[in-house]
Amino acid sequence: MESNCFVLLVEIVNYLVLIICVLLGVAFVTLLERKILGYIQIRKGPNKVGYMGLLQPFSDAVKLFSKEQTMPIMSNFIVYYLCPVFSLFLSLLVWSVMPYDVGLVSFNMSILFFFCCLGMGVYSVMVAGWASNCKYSLLGSLRSVAQTISYEVSLALILLSFIELLGGFSLKLFVKYQNNIGFKFLSLPLKLIWFPSCLAETNRTPFDFAEGESELVSGFNTEYSSGGFALIFMAKYSSILFMSVLFVIVFLGSSPCKPMFYLKSMFLAFIFVWVRGTLPRLRYDKLMYLAWKSFLPVSINYLFFFIGVKSLCFVLNL
């Protein structure tokens, strides 16, 4: 009994350390983004607060959380305040599926848990827009929800293909089976679908329709300021980091216990920023075309292909 309690305590402490590291990573990813966008636009970016602007994220956090919190008079008060907290909670909870060898909870159904958290994230966006009781926020949230659900279908089918091939729902299987040979070449088309789907899932350029400038001002978070605004964007950048990490695990087969894993993950996060500084926003009518007429057929075909490969291996007793 005592040993079980000790193991549980160790897992909780390790998870808290992981969350602190994620939050620090989120802070410096925002700095990285501002620096990269600055150089893309031929300017310096943050360089005044601390050495080369390294303390800028902490300055921003102090500014945002110390500002006065505004409250829309007609809003649904409790739900309005809880939505950003719930959004950040979900984006941090999903990090518990990381396939570390020791120290964290071992999930045999980690992919299923990931999809549960991904699906629940839709509700926080939708309810945040509704609770503000502002038509612009509601329109932004509806756009965001429609986009997220559409591209989640492609993400689910891609992971289902690998689940069928590997025969399990654990992310540890991706690391185990890619020790000798990865899925780098076998799943090249799936990589090209997965990354744009991640951009759409996290509402990043060129899929940032929820933050349309001329027609919606700032999407579903129009009425949020100070702390609420900060929590929403912390959740967003935490999701970007997690999607980068998941890409490395699924397609490159790197273990979180190796230093190269973190370099690859940061390179993926850099590509998220690079795309933002390079590509214009898509036309809105192209959004669903990509999801349902381009990505979905390829994902379904690959799912049947992997089922065929697994059946062939079973017949040949490999």
The per-residue pLDDT for 242 is 93
- Cβ burial, residue 283 (10 Å; 0-12/13-18/19+): exposed
pLDDT(275) > 60: yes
Confidence bin at 37 (pLDDT 50/70/90): very high
The per-residue pLDDT for 100 is 78
pLDDT(165) > 70: yes
The per-residue pLDDT for 1 is 61
Q: Give how far the C-alpha of residue 194 lies from the chain's centroid of Cα atoms, to the nearest Å.
A: 12
Sequence-distant (≥ 6) Cβ neighbours of residue 93 within 8 angstroms: 117
Average confidence score pLDDT of the chain: 84
Does this model's pTM top 0.85? My answer is yes
The per-residue pLDDT for 241 is 93
pLDDT tens digits, 190-220? 888 999 999 988 888 888 876 665 555 556 6
The per-residue pLDDT for 229 is 85
